[in-house]
A and B are shown apart, each in its own frame.
Chain A
């Protein structure tokens, strides 16, 4: 059981450290890049605009609702993200893991049927979005290797997690943990970082729009 101990011990610690240290480093580099030009006298509030954009971009504007692809990406995107969020923070084994190893407290976990439903949404959304990367000429053209690796790793983390759902096998748990660690190590170097960069991006645009008295 040497491998399991490694996965649960030093490898786990190492991957979490890489995730945290390089993730923070990346945010730091983003925010200190180059220089910011002096801004014009504002018409409206840049801060208000930033807040508005951060929340406003959660849903597509009415002008784009006539387009099938906008619907597709929005629905599949939410199915995947909400499903994944529910699995990540409310699956019973995860709640227990976070309580025992990191936080020291817990919160109500999803019942089994809730887990299953969340997993269905997460898998369907991820599969649909990933498949589209291969068959939509637009996304096919702009997809980077990173986008496929990120999607693939996330898929494997989810799949191995679900395979270990019986909670009877140390091996299955170890496989899941191994993929989680690979995912954590890959995370800060990849587009998975959008988990943390989205408010920055929206906020900068919103601040510009707020300053100019428009909505972007």
Chain B
């Protein structure tokens, strides 16, 4: 009726490959429903369009734009369900009233499915029906991937994960990076041990920028006397198959880690300070094996820290001072680890000043779910960051701590853009720096 006349960005979608539009649409329709089950079906049959999900979404709240209403972001996916699998889809098809999806729609929705959803799941918290819209967006990405309608940058990173082993690079690049860190910090990082109790995995951010995290983890593991190793063929914790909607890649990346751990007899796979790695490996690995992973413990760094602190194995010098903690969505809201950072901060003797929205209802940093990697989403990310910045400033805490490398990168980049002087600290690095070693 009264469209706001805002000039569209020159190119609001990317596409990969060279196939006719009809093929793209058909692939999308098939991909949308490839992982569909009773859970998603219940969700799509329960929504009453109350619009409350918008009230939880940082992208909607930051921009005020209606199109960022979470349930709106899955419209083509919902249509695919209505056309092909819904309870009365056969009647609708028979009468020719089944919904259809056009290539233009898919292109328009690319931004909504990839740029403006971090899969943070905050909308589920406010939904009267408890609909897990993040799960639906994730399933919608399956179709978009099949159609070759991804942001180029995300497609490129996922491609690197597929062809070069990791978004960071090939195994040789990894070995080089590890050696550089060893030289920089005069530390030894065990690599490719044939047998070890624990397989440590890392995220590209650790290898690129957060070297202190790698060093900290190594020191903690060594001080605990754990027999651990890195593997040059199974080092990548992040799963860009999970983020890009490439389910095949997701499975390959997952199995690579589990299989390697089994091969070297590791009882534990340790995940770094990363969010979606926890979701992909801890909570979704079972689907690729058809059985729960009972022989290997998939452990998050947060768990390691909190459990060993509680057991008295890690002793810390009290830091004092006040701190606020940003709860990474995939670890806390969707990962069940909310207790862990609070145990750690308490032991560090820090006065925890909780953000206004905390634990399960914490706001996303704005960069999760592959949005940080997707460079074209930078302006939107920056707007979402404002919400967090205000909350952090309101606490007046001295330290701003989190436990996710991706969140840190998002904060660091947005911080530079906005000249904000509050540096974000890693919980792991805080522990490593204040660990009492005899």
Q: Is B truly associated with A? A: yes
State the CA gap A17–B86 with chains docked (Å).
Answer: 21
Tell yes or no: B420 within 8 A of A by CB. no
Tell yes or no: A53 within 8 A of B by CB. yes
Interface residues on B, range: 35 or more
Contacts A30-B45, A31-B38, A140-B66 given: A214-B131 contact, CB under 8 Å?
Answer: no
B36 to A214, Cβ gap below 8 A?
no
B331, chain A: closest CB distance, angstroms: 10
Interface readout for B37-78 with A: 1 if CB under 8 Å, 0 if not? 111111101111111101110001000001101011000000
B42, chain A: closest CB distance, angstroms: 4
Which residues from B are CB-within-8-Å of A43? 336
Contacts A204-B132, A216-B130 given: A26-B333 contact, CB under 8 Å?
Answer: no
B360 to A216, Cβ gap below 8 A?
yes
State the CA gap A147–B50 with chains docked (Å).
Answer: 10
Please tell me which one of the listed residues B45, B49, B72 contacts residue A147 in the complex, with CB atoms under 8 A apart: B49
Interface readout for B118-148 with A: 1 if CB under 8 Å, 0 if not? 0001001111111110000000000000000
Chain B residue with the shortest CB-CB distance to A69: B55
State the CA gap A65–B47 with chains docked (Å).
Answer: 21
Which residues from A are CB-within-8-Å of B287? 37-38
Tell yes or no: B213 within 8 A of A by CB. no
State the CA gap A114–B173 with chains docked (Å).
Answer: 76
Chain A residue with the shortest CB-CB distance to B281: A40
Tell yes or no: A163 within 8 A of B by CB. no
Interface readout for A24-64 with B: 1 if CB under 8 Å, 0 if not? 01100111111111111101100000000110010011111
Please tell me which one of the listed residues B35, B42, B52, B55 contacts residue A197 in the complex, with CB atoms under 8 A apart: B42
Tell yes or no: A77 within 8 A of B by CB. yes
Tell yes or no: A170 within 8 A of B by CB. no
State the CA gap A34–B86 with chains docked (Å).
Answer: 11
Chain B residue with the shortest CB-CB distance to A211: B283
A40 to B130, Cβ gap below 8 A?
no
Which residues from A are CB-within-8-Å of B88? 22, 26, 189
Chain B residue with the shortest CB-CB distance to A57: B130
B47 to A63, Cβ gap below 8 A?
no
Tell yes or no: A6 within 8 A of B by CB. no
* Residue in A26, A39, A143, A200 whose Cβ sees the most chain B Cβ within 10 Å: A200
Which residues from A are CB-within-8-Å of B428? none
Please tell me which one of the listed residues A38, A60, A143 contacts residue B290 in the complex, with CB atoms under 8 A apart: A38
State the CA gap A62–B291 with chains docked (Å).
Answer: 38
Contacts A35-B37, A61-B126, A193-B45 given: A142-B286 contact, CB under 8 Å?
Answer: no
Which residues from A are CB-within-8-Å of B83? none
Which residues from B are CB-within-8-Å of A37? 35, 37, 284, 286-287
Contacts A29-B87, A214-B336, A216-B334 given: A204-B126 contact, CB under 8 Å?
Answer: no
Contacts A147-B49, A202-B129 given: A34-B35 contact, CB under 8 Å?
Answer: yes
Tell yes or no: B332 within 8 A of A by CB. yes
* Contacting residues of chain A (152-189) with chain B, CB-CB under 8 angstroms: 189
Interface residues on A, range: 35 or more
Contacts A34-B37, A37-B287, A205-B130 given: A136-B51 contact, CB under 8 Å?
Answer: yes
Chain B residue with the shortest CB-CB distance to A60: B126
Chain A residue with the shortest CB-CB distance to B121: A216
Interface readout for A189-216 with B: 1 if CB under 8 Å, 0 if not? 1010110011011111110110111111
A30 to B129, Cβ gap below 8 A?
no
SS of B interface (majority):
loop
Tell yes or no: B165 within 8 A of A by CB. no
Tell yes or no: B381 within 8 A of A by CB. no
B33 to A69, Cβ gap below 8 A?
no
State the CA gap A76–B31 with chains docked (Å).
Answer: 39
Please tell me which one of the listed residues A31, A138, A212 contacts residue B283 in the complex, with CB atoms under 8 A apart: A212
Which residues from B are CB-within-8-Å of A67? 55
A40 to B37, Cβ gap below 8 A?
no
B51 to A138, Cβ gap below 8 A?
yes
Please tell me which one of the listed residues A40, A57, A60, A133 contacts residue B292 in the complex, with CB atoms under 8 A apart: A40
B66 to A30, Cβ gap below 8 A?
no
Chain A residue with the shortest CB-CB distance to B333: A214
Tell yes or no: B276 within 8 A of A by CB. no
B38 to A40, Cβ gap below 8 A?
no
Tell yes or no: A144 within 8 A of B by CB. yes
State the CA gap A43–B337 with chains docked (Å).
Answer: 10
Tell yes or no: A73 within 8 A of B by CB. yes
Tell yes or no: A141 within 8 A of B by CB. yes
Chain A residue with the shortest CB-CB distance to B99: A144
Tell yes or no: B293 within 8 A of A by CB. yes
Given A141-B69, A201-B46, A216-B360, 11 other A-B residues pairs in contact with their CB atoms under 8 A: A31-B38, A37-B286, A38-B286, A64-B361, A73-B51, A139-B51, A142-B69, A197-B42, A201-B43, A201-B130, A214-B332
- Listed A/B pairs (29) with beta-carbon separation below 8 Å: A26-B87, A30-B38, A32-B38, A33-B41, A34-B41, A37-B287, A40-B282, A40-B292, A41-B294, A57-B127, A57-B128, A62-B361, A69-B51, A69-B54, A70-B55, A73-B50, A77-B50, A139-B49, A139-B51, A191-B47, A191-B48, A194-B47, A194-B129, A197-B46, A204-B39, A209-B336, A212-B335, A212-B336, A216-B333
Which residues of B come within 8 Å of A, CB atoms? Answer: 33, 35-43, 45-52, 54-56, 60, 66-67, 69, 71-72, 85-88, 121, 124-132, 282-287, 289-294, 332-338, 357, 360-361
Which residues of A come within 8 Å of B, CB atoms? Answer: 22, 25-26, 29-41, 43-44, 53-54, 57, 60-64, 67, 69-70, 73, 77, 129, 133, 136-144, 147, 189, 191, 193-194, 197-198, 200-206, 208-209, 211-216
Rank and list the top 7 A-B pairs by shortest CB-CB distance, nearest first.
Answer: A213-B336, A63-B361, A201-B46, A37-B287, A202-B130, A33-B41, A34-B36
